[in-house]
Structure 1
Amino acid sequence: HRLVELVEEEMAALLPNPETMALLKAAMDAAGEEERAGALPLLEGGATPAALVEVYRRLLEVLPRLNLPGAEACAGELRRALARAGELLGRLEETEAKLEQLFAQMDFRPLYDRRHDLFAIGYDKEEERLTNSYYDLLASEARLISYLAICRREVPPRHWFKLGRALAEVEGQLGLVSWTGTMFEYLMPSLVMKHYPHTLLDMTYRTALLAQEQYGKKRKVPWGTSESGYYAFDLHFNYQYKAFGVPDLGLKRGLIEDMVVSPYSTMLALPFLPGKALVNLKRLLADGLEGEYGLYEAVDYTPERLPPGEKRKIVLSFMAHHQGMSLVAMDNLLHGQVMQRRFHAHPLVKSGEILLEEKVPSRPIITKDYKEKVEPLEEQPRPAARLVRTFELEPRRVLPRCHVLSNGRYYVLLTDRGTGYSRREGVQLTRWRKDCLLGGYGFHIFFKCLKTNRIWSAAYEPLRQEPDSYQVTFAPDKVTYTRVDDLLSTHTEIVVAPEDDVEIRRVTVANNSREDVVLEVTSYGELVLGDHQADVAHPAFHSLFVKTEALPEEAVLLASRRPRAKGQPCHWAFHSLVVDGEMLGQLQFETNRGNFLGRNRALYQPQALERPLGGSTGTVLDPIFSLRQRVRVQAEGAVTLTWLFGYAESREQALALARKYRNGETVLRAFEMAQSRGQVEANFLALTEERLALYQDLIPHLLFLNPLRSRYAREIARN
């Protein structure tokens, strides 16, 4: 393991080199008894840093009397090792002083509720009071704090006896119940707290270990459950975390619904059941839990969370506090409960040991009489939810169908007609209005056949020309527009990159005729790069602060909004084109809306589609992004154009993103990761086909001016 290697490297740096060690051993054989005794910690190994410092100092004193060959080089090596050991010892002493200070400054009284004589779970900062939940069970990790607080006289001893002592019976043995039945609740305090034979806690430890072992046996998996990560993700692909325990010991409902095994739970059992724990660890290793820094966080056997056909999923992460507990447990096993002895050597800790000698009550209160039946885990067939919706063209529909793509920061709204907007958190990137009759808002791609002069767009908007065939697909990860015009078909896929604030439009043009076709492909998007309400209130003034820039050699357009006040952030956007096919002529561009549309024209009949783009940049009156490239589509062939649009916080970042996504492998990875994120998001939100349809059908009623609002205004007001 890498962790072992790091420790070995650190320890090797504290010792002299092998040549010096060999010389010292030879010299010690001929030296006197005093010199040999002084060097024994070094020669036999196992010396602490403090002992090494002392040994090196004594060796440097006696070295002149040993008549060693190469004594000067040997002395230099000893001085180097002394410096390293002294440096480490200094760091350890500094850490010790910090820990002593932290311990002295701890004060648990603010979390103690004197009415209940219990510690609250936490403090509600907003309401400025303790929470109404308490640590009220003796079988809890919090008993370590209870013990310390009593020893420090911060809370009265009666608090210890206010902790619940209800018992559960497992295979004829009694033990305290806990809230979630985890190994952590039972065994974590034992890393430093002593327990005595034939006491309540000793009996509880044995019962908890038996229950954990039996639970794993019944489930036909390794044993050892505690709070840990499991195989579920949030929207940022972070593993989720919660407590998993044994139903026979835990009061919490629903424990039987999960089966997650964590290696650190077995590690906690090492000082109690070393033989069985080692066998269990070997089972975990056989299941693939060995990682670079030790054993992975957990393995999830819960059928509902596993992909079809798989029996387990490993949680590929490491948590420092779980690794730390594992190291302490191994230290206790190998060195006779050394951490317990150190902890109880403190007079303050020693003063409360009588609390740990509590005997088993003669009239125990037994709870958990009803035991849930534990069955072996079996794969449960789950019908796959169809989260993909497909629509035909409905130009007479009042409100369009809508879908939202997002990576958690960057949002793209898309309608079945091809309109929408792009937004990055609070920054509106492209222009948007609520009136769905106007149309045209969003990011559009135009095609022009140079042989026939026919013009059409990738979606229905903004030209509103009905194609021979039209289909829109809304999937969790992307939106797809497919249309056929004569013998040319266009397939447009739109995703938002999960890793960056970039939207990708991959357009594939297929030529189904027997002749080559030359197309002029043009993009268009109106820029805002600021507050949406400010753009609605005064678009002309709001646009004055946007400056554009072109880099034709890289097929990139840049735009930035200058801050209007000190301390405001500077917003940047970029637009780029990558062509996989035969290109003809030079790239054209335009960043002035007036030049693109022309006088008294709208987006459904722009003059730019009739003439070359003007190439204007700088502080334009109304900024847009527009790129144009001619391409040749071979007979019965296809050309793929990838349009990139994204947000950045600086010019350097914008250029870096544009260059990054010019790589085809990066674009392919973005599509794959978007698909994975879509699946994770669907599982995280528990989306079903019915829920997804309902949410998507609600979007247009929230975003567009809706005639139903006027019709039912009185009912809405009453509600």
Structure 2
Amino acid sequence: MKKYFSLLLVLLLIVSATLPAAASAKNTNKGKEIALSKQLKAISKNTYRYFEDFTDKKTGLTYDAVRMDNGEINAQKFTSPTNIAMYMMSTISAEEVGLISREEAVTNIEKTLNSLKDMDKWNGLFYNWYYTEDATLMTDWGQFISTVDNGWLSAGLVVVGQAYPELYEETHALVEDMDYSTLYTPEVGQMRGGYDVATESYTAHHYGAFYTEPRVASYIAIGKEDVPEEHWWRMFRTMPESWDWQAQIPEGYTETYDGVDVFEGHYSYKGTKYVPSWGGSMFEALMPQLVLKEKELGKNALGLNNKRHVDIQIQYAKEQGYAAWGMSPAATPDNYSEFAATPLGMDGYKSDGTVTPHATFLALEYAPMEAFNNIQALKRFDMYGKYGFLDSVNVETGEVTQAYLALDQGMTMVSIVNYLKDGVIRDYFHQDQIGKSPEDLLMKETFSIQ
């Protein structure tokens, strides 16, 4: 009996020692969560100020970018379909967190919709560049119809129509007119990169890689019934094993979905399996989940893979000795370039120490505490100001790019609000039949990365 009492005493001592430590850790995490939420609200206010100050008051079209040259503001007064979508979804996000009123949000978005109705189009699809001052076509850079950019504009319009039902008829009409069948090649089962109206020619390439940003356009084209569901399964999870130019020879197996054989391939990094993107950047991997319920519905496929890409981005940056993580295409002091955690790509982009803040915000819902710590690390580079975070910093040299991009400001804004409001922008998108009808495609797939 004495032996049992001794054992019980030891157990009680262990439990009593463990409980305070566990409670302390829980309280610490809770405190960080509260601090993160407060910080995100403050960042959203500064980030949205970009759209308030650099959107044309008459047309409702946001400038593509703003560069700070020796203290002078150099605004690039043209815009793209993706920028327009980011503005509209950022405006909804601003209303969701109380930065602007509902009335102000609707009034501002109505200006944008009025411009969209009158803008030059091809089969209802929008060209890649328009002047913000009068919404006319910008022909200096050609007359290109981009599949992925139109996908984002459709997504933004769908979200607006559900957030503000009084605008639904206008947004629905615009989306219905956008004919994605004109960009689809049935024999290949894939979407073209786009179409050049001036030369009357399609791009030579199709969007063949599945785990890349254009999957939003594919999802919407299926939701609209412009293209068949088969398209979803005809894209490559990895390229076939025989294509030896890719970064790794993939491992996996063939699975059949809806009568289509799909090679469920994967790469590996330090023992972690994942389906690669094309270049290995954060926005290819995670920008689509701004509107697609990959985290909620694709638990065995896209949602799981999103988490793997975040984890490897963090791990890779640490192994490189970087003071912060988050590699993705961004503005540079001279121009714009692609950056990535190189191993995550089929044909990986470079990694030279350039880090962009929007990558951190895209990762919020998968690694919130790591994102909290990374925000502090980024702020130590003196890159946070009136409009939120500047677009990039080279953490090796300390050089900060003095620019803000509408695209990256928008990704930051929508990511913050999805985190703070439990995926509200995704909820709006999936309330629409276009977002709801293909949900089974997200749910039924299992990647070979379990």
Q: TM-score, normalised by structure 2?
A: 0.57
What are the superposed Cα offsets for residues 568-618 of structure 1, whole Å, 9 maximum, x if unpaired? xxxxxxxxxxxxxxxxxxxxxxxxxxxxxxxxxxxxxxxxxxxxxxxxxxx
> Are positions 1:176 and 2:275 aligned together?
yes
Counterpart of 1:279? Answer: 373
For the residues of structure 2 that align with 1:320 and 1:126, how far apart are their CA atoms? 27
CA contact (8 A) 1:2 1:292 kept: no
CA contact (8 A) 1:183 1:265 kept: yes
For the residues of structure 2 that align with 1:255 and 1:47, how far apart are their CA atoms? 37
> Are positions 1:207 and 2:302 aligned together?
no
Q: Which has the higher strand share?
A: 1
For the residues of structure 1 that align with 2:393 and 2:44, how far apart are their CA atoms? 21
Instruction: Please list, as runs of the form range in 1=range in 2, the aligned pairs for 1:94-113 lying within 5 A after superposition.
Output: 95=113, 97=167, 98-113=170-185
Instruction: Please list, as runs of the form range in 1=range in 2, the aligned pairs for 1:99-498 lying within 5 A after superposition.
Output: 99-125=171-197, 127-166=199-238, 167-195=266-294, 196=297, 198-221=299-322, 222-231=324-333, 233=334, 240-252=335-347, 255-256=350-351, 258-301=352-395, 311-361=397-447
For the residues of structure 2 that align with 1:265 and 1:176, how far apart are their CA atoms? 18
1:282 to partner: Cα distance:
0.7
For the residues of structure 1 that align with 2:328 and 2:46, how far apart are their CA atoms? 28
CA contact (8 A) 1:224 1:262 kept: yes
For the residues of structure 1 that align with 2:185 and 2:283, how far apart are their CA atoms? 24
Q: Which has the higher helix share?
A: 2
1:7 to partner: Cα distance:
7.1
Counterpart of 2:10? Answer: none
Change (3 A) 1:262 1:93: same
SS of 1:299's partner is strand
CA contact (8 A) 1:170 1:210 kept: no
Counterpart of 2:45? Answer: 4
Q: TM-score, normalised by structure 1?
A: 0.36
The one-letter amino acid of 2:331's match is G
Change (3 A) 1:46 1:188: closer
Percent identity (aligned): 29
1:134 to partner: Cα distance:
1.7
CA contact (8 A) 1:174 1:203 kept: no
Change (3 A) 1:254 1:180: closer
SS of 2:343's partner is coil
Q: For structure 1, which runs of at least 5 residues remain unmatched after alignment?
A: 12-44, 51-84, 234-239, 303-310, 367-719
CA contact (8 A) 2:46 2:388 kept: no
SS of 1:270's partner is coil
What are the superposed Cα offsets for residues 515-563 of structure 1, whole Å, 9 maximum, x if unpaired? xxxxxxxxxxxxxxxxxxxxxxxxxxxxxxxxxxxxxxxxxxxxxxxxx
Corresponding pairs, count: 279
SS of 1:188's partner is helix
CA contact (8 A) 1:229 1:241 kept: yes
CA contact (8 A) 1:3 1:292 kept: no
Change (3 A) 1:132 1:90: closer
Change (3 A) 1:163 1:281: same
For the residues of structure 2 that align with 1:213 and 1:278, how far apart are their CA atoms? 13
For the residues of structure 2 that align with 1:7 and 1:119, how far apart are their CA atoms? 33
Counterpart of 2:255? Answer: none
CA contact (8 A) 2:353 2:394 kept: yes
CA contact (8 A) 2:317 2:341 kept: no
Q: What is the root-mean-square deviation in Å for CA atoms of aligned residues?
A: 3.0
Bigger relative contact order (CA 8 A; separation at least 6): 2
Change (3 A) 1:246 1:90: closer
1:179 to partner: Cα distance:
1.1
For the residues of structure 1 that align with 2:195 and 2:110, how far apart are their CA atoms? 34
Change (3 A) 1:313 1:88: closer
The one-letter amino acid of 1:223's match is W
Change (3 A) 1:326 1:253: closer
For the residues of structure 2 that align with 1:212 and 1:253, how far apart are their CA atoms? 13
Change (3 A) 1:3 1:337: closer
1:88 to partner: Cα distance:
5.9
SS of 2:331's partner is strand
Change (3 A) 1:157 1:91: same
CA contact (8 A) 2:383 2:390 kept: yes
1:114 to partner: Cα distance:
2.1
For the residues of structure 2 that align with 1:255 and 1:335, how far apart are their CA atoms? 34
For the residues of structure 2 that align with 1:88 and 1:361, how far apart are their CA atoms? 40
For the residues of structure 2 that align with 1:228 and 1:185, how far apart are their CA atoms? 12
For the residues of structure 2 that align with 1:132 and 1:210, how far apart are their CA atoms? 34
Change (3 A) 1:88 1:119: closer
Q: Which structure has the greater CA radius of gyration?
A: 1
The one-letter amino acid of 1:320's match is A
For the residues of structure 2 that align with 1:273 and 1:267, how far apart are their CA atoms? 10
For the residues of structure 2 that align with 1:328 and 1:178, how far apart are their CA atoms? 22
